[in-house]
Amino acid sequence: MNSKNGASTVLDTLGRLESEAIHIFREVAGEFDRPVILFSGGKDSTLLLHLAIKAFYPAPVPFPLLHVDTGHNFDEVIEFRDRVVAQHGLRLEVAKVQDWIDDGRLEERPDGTRNPLQTVPLLDSITQHKFDAVFGGGRRDEERARAKERIFSLRTAFGQWDPKRQRPELWNLYNGRHRAGEHVRVFPLSNWTELDVWNYIEREGIELPDIYYSHQRDVFLRDGMWLAEGPWGTARDGETLLRKTVRYRTVGDGSCTGAVESDAADIHAVIAEVAASRLTERGATRADDRLSEAAMEDRKREGYF
Amino acid sequence: MSDLLRLATAGSVDDGKSTLVGRLLYDTKSVLADTLDAVHRASADRGLATPDLSLLVDGLRSEREQGITIDVAYRYFATPKRSFVLADTPGHVQYTRNTVTGASTAQLAVLLVDARKGVIEQTRRHAAVLALLGVPRLVLAVNKIDLVDYDEVTFFRIAKEFTAHATALGYTEDAVVQIPVSALAGDNVVDKSANTPWYSGPTLLEHLETVPVEPDPHDAAFRFPVQYVIRPRTAEHLDYRGYAGLIAAGTIKPGDEIVVLPSGRRSTVTKIDTADGELTEAAAGQSVTLLLADDIDISRGDLISVAGNEPTVTDELDATLCWLAEKPLRPGARVLVKHGTRTVQAMVTELRDRFDEQNLSSVDSPASLELNEIGRVALRLAEPVPLDDYSFSRRTGSFLVIDASDGSTLAAGLVGAPLPLLEDGVESCTGGSAATPDTHALVSPGP
């Protein structure tokens, strides 16, 4: 931003990332029949929605939202989700993992974790609603298997991702052609880093659920992560509930999303903390990525993000 | 100065590219503690004494098993001076496909050679592909300099040979920088090496932090592919009709006269709208919404251009194709062409020649174009499309060739023949003809 008349036309990093994401949203609106935005109320999907609103301003966002609800949510996040949906007059579809468990299509895992169970309700919902483009908040900096993810990622009718069938992405021309029953996952935040996300949230003044900022919570230590108690369970033998000052860096299934000890109570403090952090956000707080070195690659092949 | 640099890496198998990229991430402290722990564990499992930095970037299970990189991977790192988006392109079998992909949005490419081997066939091919795709600047990283005992003579011999090749491809000497490095030992990657006292230039990272980045082509004529028509139809915005898109080239202000292509209808811009308010001016790279004075029929696929300096509207064109599919291209093939926001049916009427990157020469009228081959073709389109030459704009001079039956991307298309070598052969190009880096400098990478 260096223009004398204040109407700068030189974009900085955040300006370029925003322009790219808006371009992607508009391409999908122009070429697909039934797009949907995955929206959990977490920070990446909140950012995704913010960009979608900007892309179609002053018209409403021409897509519905879909939340695959594990039932292991933080109350603050669900309250935030519903408030944002109402505020912008959006339509939200909720696919509840519990419904799939209740009618026998899914079985609860012995460890009680429900993150891996999201895949089936997600794919069933995509089929049921005939969604042909599914926006997700995935970023390439999150994990090595995602570093090769395309912005337009073709999925089979079974939701599967075949690394060998992915198309080369040239210039900013996206090829979203797919066969009936197939769909395309679209990742407008592909080129953002965690720090870009936070800097942009600050610059745009985007509201997030409170649990991203430090607060007091009863937690117990398991596998090096601070887990909260909730409907998904509590401390086992040998684990002790402690009151800690924590915040969340990612928000997912409560049974496997850990809090980090933090005094970062506002956006400025969070940015300072992220900038200084020596742990990736997934590694710090997601038990489901720790199962094996290739955990994310395997789950992607199965149709998870 | 721009605070974002998009770069691509290219090199042959075993040139140590993954290690170099791993070294950049490691030494800029872009590798976080848990990722590093995983690499230390995996290296120890394989019985290695020091961490194998290539493990930081070799992502997919199949390539970890084979110890090679099989697809373009994107890496992100930042220093206080700049943010970097790095397209890490593998160097073996599908090299053209991957190099073309990485190069299509790159403002700079780092090309690796092994100091023991010097400039080899694949180095020449990579450089030719980078020049063809209009990557404005090159860095030659002469890697494994430790394995030639940090020998000055070896380095300058390789540097000189490469510069001659790059110059033949149309690069000026100041667009090409050569750096002696050891990715394994860290020499001259981030920190200056004591082992190369004869080298006075910047380290690789210093160069990446300070190299001028060619801006989006603000000086070029205005080009705006219409992505979407915004019509709120709300009480507040009853008559609002805006044309949404990303400015591909040039600048625009309210009051500017425009022409809509291919229809040729003219109008005037009344307002440049964004969610953050109206703009008094907008330029290449920005996503905006244009409102016009006249109620004319405009839809997705149309191109809005400045009046008086318009692209050619034609249904016949000469183009260069980088063929990316297993299925070969033969004359008479029916395909789809995606240009800007418009997709049209097309037929490849003629294969003019195939580019021999090794000899910088061409083979006339080949029977087919195979995977990873580059050639010039004639295309006929089902309807007229507004086209710029690729040397004018990477965004409005590029297109995809798509298989109409299965939707796969078959080729990267460049309007015209960005490499004059295709017509003229080596001799006439060593003097530096049409594809000078001045031309490249006007070419804009993706956003």
B399, part of any domain? yes
Domain boundary residue among B306, B331, B357?
A: B306
Query: What pairs with residue B109 in β-bridges?
Result: B8, B138
Distances from the Cα of A248 to the Cαs of A3, A255, B279, in angstroms? 39, 13, 38
Neighbour count for residue B294 (Cβ, 10 Å):
11
| H or E element in which residue A267 lies | helix A267-276
Q: Can you tell me whether residue B163 is helix, strand or coil?
A: helix
Q: Which residue has the higher pLDDT, A90 or B65?
A: A90
Residue A168 in contact with residue A116, Cβ under 8 Å? no
A21 pLDDT above the threshold of 70: yes
Query: Helix/strand/coil (H, E, C) string of A180-232?
Result: CCCEEEECCCCCCCHHHHHHHHHHHCCCCCHHHCCEEEEEEEECCEEEECECC
Per-residue pLDDT at B254: 98
Give the mean model confidence (pLDDT) for residues A132-149: 84
- For the domain that residue B418 is a member of, what is the CATH number? 2.40.30.10
A123 pLDDT above the threshold of 70: yes
Give the mean model confidence (pLDDT) for residues B150-156: 96
Residue A147 with chain B: CB contacts under 8 Å:
57, 59, 73-75
Distance from CA of B332 to the nearest CA of A (A): 23
Give me the residue label for tokens 């920005």.
B286
Give the mean model confidence (pLDDT) for residues A232-246: 82
Per-residue pLDDT at B445: 35
B5 pLDDT above the threshold of 60: yes
Per-residue pLDDT at A284: 52
Per-residue pLDDT at A289: 46
Per-residue pLDDT at B93: 55
Mean pLDDT of chain B: 85
Give me the residue label for tokens 């000078």.
B436
Q: Can you tell me whether residue B20 is helix, strand or coil?
A: helix
Give me the residue label for tokens 């790159």.
B106
Mutation test of the interface with chain B: which of A171, A175, A203, A296, choosing the one with the most B Cβ atoms within 10 A?
A: A171
- Tally of CA atoms within 13 A in the half-sphere of A183 that contains its CB: 26
Per-residue pLDDT at B440: 33
Residue A175 with chain B: CB contacts under 8 Å:
338, 400, 402, 407-409
Residue of A nearest to B286 (CA): A19
Residue A182 in contact with residue A131, Cβ under 8 Å? no
Q: What is the percent of chain B where pLDDT is above 90? A: 56
Neighbour count for residue B308 (Cβ, 10 Å):
9
Query: What pairs with residue A65 in β-bridges?
Result: A37, A92
Per-residue pLDDT at B435: 36
Could you read off the pLDDT of A209-238 as tens digits, one per residue?
999 999 998 888 887 788 888 777 777 888
Q: Do A170 and B104 touch (CB under 8 A)?
A: yes
A6 pLDDT above the threshold of 50: no
A123/A120 Cα distance (integer angstroms): 5
Q: Which residue has the higher pLDDT, B47 or B324?
A: B324
Neighbour count for residue B41 (Cβ, 10 Å):
12
E strands present in B235-388: 242-246, 251-252, 257-261, 265-273, 282-283, 287-292, 303-306, 312-323, 334-339, 342-356, 361-364, 374-387
B319, part of any domain? yes
Q: Do A280 and B32 touch (CB under 8 A)?
A: yes
One domain, residues B40 and B173: yes
Mutation test of the interface with chain A: which of B85, B95, B272, choosing the one with the most A Cβ atoms within 10 A?
A: B85
One domain, residues B234 and B159: no
Could you read off the pLDDT of B278-316 as tens digits, one per residue?
999 999 999 999 999 999 999 999 999 999 999 999 999
Q: Do A9 and B251 touch (CB under 8 A)?
A: yes
Give the mean model confidence (pLDDT) for residues B384-388: 95
Neighbour count for residue A237 (Cβ, 10 Å):
4
Size of interface A-B (CB pairs under 8 A): 186
One domain, residues B29 and B88: yes
- Number of structural domains (chain B) is 3
Out of B4, B274, B398, the one facing A13 most closely (by C-beta) is: B4
One domain, residues B69 and B190: yes
- For the domain that residue B165 is a member of, what is the CATH number? 3.40.50.300
Per-residue pLDDT at B263: 94
Q: Do B227 and A26 touch (CB under 8 A)?
A: yes
Residue A162 in contact with residue A109, Cβ under 8 Å? no
Domain boundary residue among B263, B284, B306?
A: B306
B236 has a chain A CB within 8 A of its CB: yes
Tokens of A271: 């940015």
One domain, residues B284 and B413: no
Could you read off the pLDDT of B401-440 as tens digits, one per residue?
999 998 999 999 999 976 655 334 433 333 333 333 333 3
Backbone angles phi, psi at B83, to 5 degrees: -105, 145
Query: What pairs with residue B191 in β-bridges?
Result: B187
Domain boundary residue among B306, B322, B348?
A: B306
Per-residue pLDDT at B22: 84
Total count of residues recorded for chain A: 305
One domain, residues B177 and B55: yes
Q: Which residue has the higher pLDDT, B77 or B1?
A: B77
Amino acid at A36: V
Query: What pairs with residue B261 in β-bridges?
Result: B303
Q: Which residue has the higher pLDDT, A290 or A137?
A: A137
| H or E element in which residue B158 lies | helix B152-168
B358-364 long-range CB contacts below 8 Å, 24 or more apart? B358/B121, B358/B124, B358/B125, B359/B426, B360/B124, B360/B128, B360/B168, B360/B169, B360/B421, B360/B425, B360/B426, B360/B429, B361/B421, B361/B425, B361/B426, B362/B421, B362/B422, B362/B423, B362/B425
Give the mean model confidence (pLDDT) for residues B174-179: 95
Q: What is the ipTM of this complex?
A: 0.87
Give the mean model confidence (pLDDT) for residues A243-254: 83
Residue of B nearest to A12 (CA): B3
A285 pLDDT band (50/70/90 cuts)? low
B217, part of any domain? no
Residue of A nearest to B240 (CA): A58
Q: Do B227 and A30 touch (CB under 8 A)?
A: yes
A259/B231 Cα distance (integer angstroms): 44
B382, part of any domain? yes
Residue A196 with chain B: CB contacts under 8 Å:
83
Distance from CA of A22 to the nearest CA of B (A): 7
Q: Do B59 and A171 touch (CB under 8 A)?
A: no
One domain, residues B238 and B299: yes
Amino acid at A212: Y
Distance from CA of A177 to the nearest CA of B (A): 5
B447, part of any domain? no
Residue A298 with chain B: CB contacts under 8 Å:
61
Mean pLDDT of chain A: 84
Q: Do B446 and A147 touch (CB under 8 A)?
A: no
B439/B419 Cα distance (integer angstroms): 11
B238 has a chain A CB within 8 A of its CB: no
Tokens of A171: 């210039």
Find the domain containing B244 and state its range: 223-306
Distance from CA of B218 to the nearest CA of A (A): 9
Cα angle for residues A224, A228, A230 (degrees, 5° grid): 140
Distance from CA of A79 to the nearest CA of B (A): 26
B328, part of any domain? yes
Q: Do B60 and A173 touch (CB under 8 A)?
A: no
Tokens of B178: 């050569």
Q: Find, among B196, B62, B130, B46, the residue nearest to B443 by Cα.
A: B130
Out of B64, B276, B286, the one facing A9 most closely (by C-beta) is: B286
Residue A176 in contact with residue A32, Cβ under 8 Å? yes
Per-residue pLDDT at B92: 63
Residue of B nearest to A278 (CA): B32
Q: Do B101 and A191 touch (CB under 8 A)?
A: no
One domain, residues B174 and B266: no
First to last CA, chain B: 16
Domains and CATH numbers, chain A: 13-195+296-302 (3.40.50.620), 210-289 (no CATH)
Q: Do A148 and B72 touch (CB under 8 A)?
A: yes
Could you read off the pLDDT of B52-78 as tens digits, one per residue?
777 666 655 555 454 444 578 888 888
B271 pLDDT above the threshold of 90: yes
One domain, residues B43 and B186: yes
Distances from the Cα of B81 to the Cαs of A147, A191, A269, B3, B5, in angstroms? 23, 18, 22, 7, 11
Per-residue pLDDT at B4: 86
Q: What is the DSSP letter of A115?
A: G
Q: What is the DSSP letter of B187?
A: B
A136/B170 Cα distance (integer angstroms): 42
One domain, residues B251 and B364: no
Top-ranked range on mean pLDDT: pick from B73-77, B168-172, B219-223, B265-269: B265-269
Give the mean model confidence (pLDDT) for residues A259-284: 78
B332, part of any domain? yes
Tokens of A182: 């197939």
Q: Do A177 and B42 touch (CB under 8 A)?
A: no
Backbone angles phi, psi at B412, to 5 degrees: -95, 130
A267 pLDDT band (50/70/90 cuts)? very high
One domain, residues B393 and B252: no
B205/B77 Cα distance (integer angstroms): 11
Cα angle for residues B408, B414, B417 (degrees, 5° grid): 140
Out of B2, B35, B240, the one facing A283 most closely (by C-beta) is: B35
B159, part of any domain? yes
Per-residue pLDDT at B215: 65
| H or E element in which residue B122 lies | helix B121-132
Residue of A nearest to B102 (CA): A170
Q: Can you tell me whether residue A19 is helix, strand or coil?
A: helix
Could you read off the pLDDT of B86-104 as tens digits, one per residue?
998 876 656 678 888 889 9
Per-residue pLDDT at A302: 56
The sign one gets for the Cα dihedral B220, B225, B228, B234 is: positive
One domain, residues B42 and B153: yes
Could you read off the pLDDT of B327-356 as tens digits, one per residue?
999 999 999 999 999 999 999 999 999 987
- Tally of CA atoms within 13 A in the half-sphere of B149 that contains its CB: 1
